[in-house]
A = this chain, B = another copy of it.
Amino acid sequence: MTDQREHILGCACDLYLEAGLEGFSMRKLAQQVGVTAPALYRHFENREDLLLQVVGEAHNVLGSYLYRALSAPTPGQRFSAAGEAYLEFALEHPRYFQIMHAFAEHLGLSEVPAELEERTAAVKRFWDDRVRECMDSGVLRRDDPDRVGLTLWAHAYGLLSLYLRGLLDAPESAFRVLYSDSFARILRGLGTSEYGAELDHHLLSHSGEPDSSGISVLEGGTP
């Protein structure tokens, strides 16, 4: 009652979380709020505006999960907790995870507003910070934190997306193990030690220039 706008926004999140993007209409929302549809336009410009606020709330919730991970005592534990937090967020709020990563056109947007891009960039920065302090403390190999953060983020995001789309037949408990295992594999490395030693010498051979004779990142692995 005190703030009808917030009440509507809360209902909008609920509606989205249970009905999804397709099921999110101004009429249904009005019904859930307990008013008629035109009343919504006194508080929000249009459907697009409302959906963007929902995305904002999704970021808030993710933020609360990530923030919790910062209470772990060591960089390594904070890193680990961050990975777990991302997992928990996606499993407990799959719709939020989905809308945060939806293509702009699915939201009916011509382009993503800068404020939203900034929030996404903040998530990336969180990963980068975890990586950086792990490098400083010797848990992670020293490297470009920005690049390493992206590698880790992309992996986690990809794995969770595949799972949430039901492409992995594993039940949730098995997926949790799989998720941790996959992280462990990345940290340990997939190549053989000979390959790793070899790789360090021509890591930049992927320029795509014709004169590199098609040599790619894995080539020469078995000299």
Contact = CB atoms under 8 A, between A and B. Distances in A.
Most buried by B among A112, A137, A195, A203: A195
A207 interface: yes
Contact of A139 (B101, B167, B191): B191
A145 to B, nearest CB: 11
Contact of A105 (B21, B155, B161): B21
Interface in A115-159: 117, 120-121, 124, 134, 137-141, 143, 147-148, 150-159
Contacts of A186: 151, 155, 186, 189-190
Contacts of A158: 153-159, 161
B147 A178 contact: yes
B218 A165 contact: no
Interface stretch (A36-44, A46-54, A55-63, A72-80): A72-80
Contacts of A152: 190
Count the copies: 2
Contacts of A83: 216-217
A81 interface: yes
Interface in A188-211: 188-192, 194-196, 199-200, 203, 206-208
A89 interface: no
A185 B143 contact: yes
B185 A101 contact: no
Contact of A222 (B74, B195, B221): B74
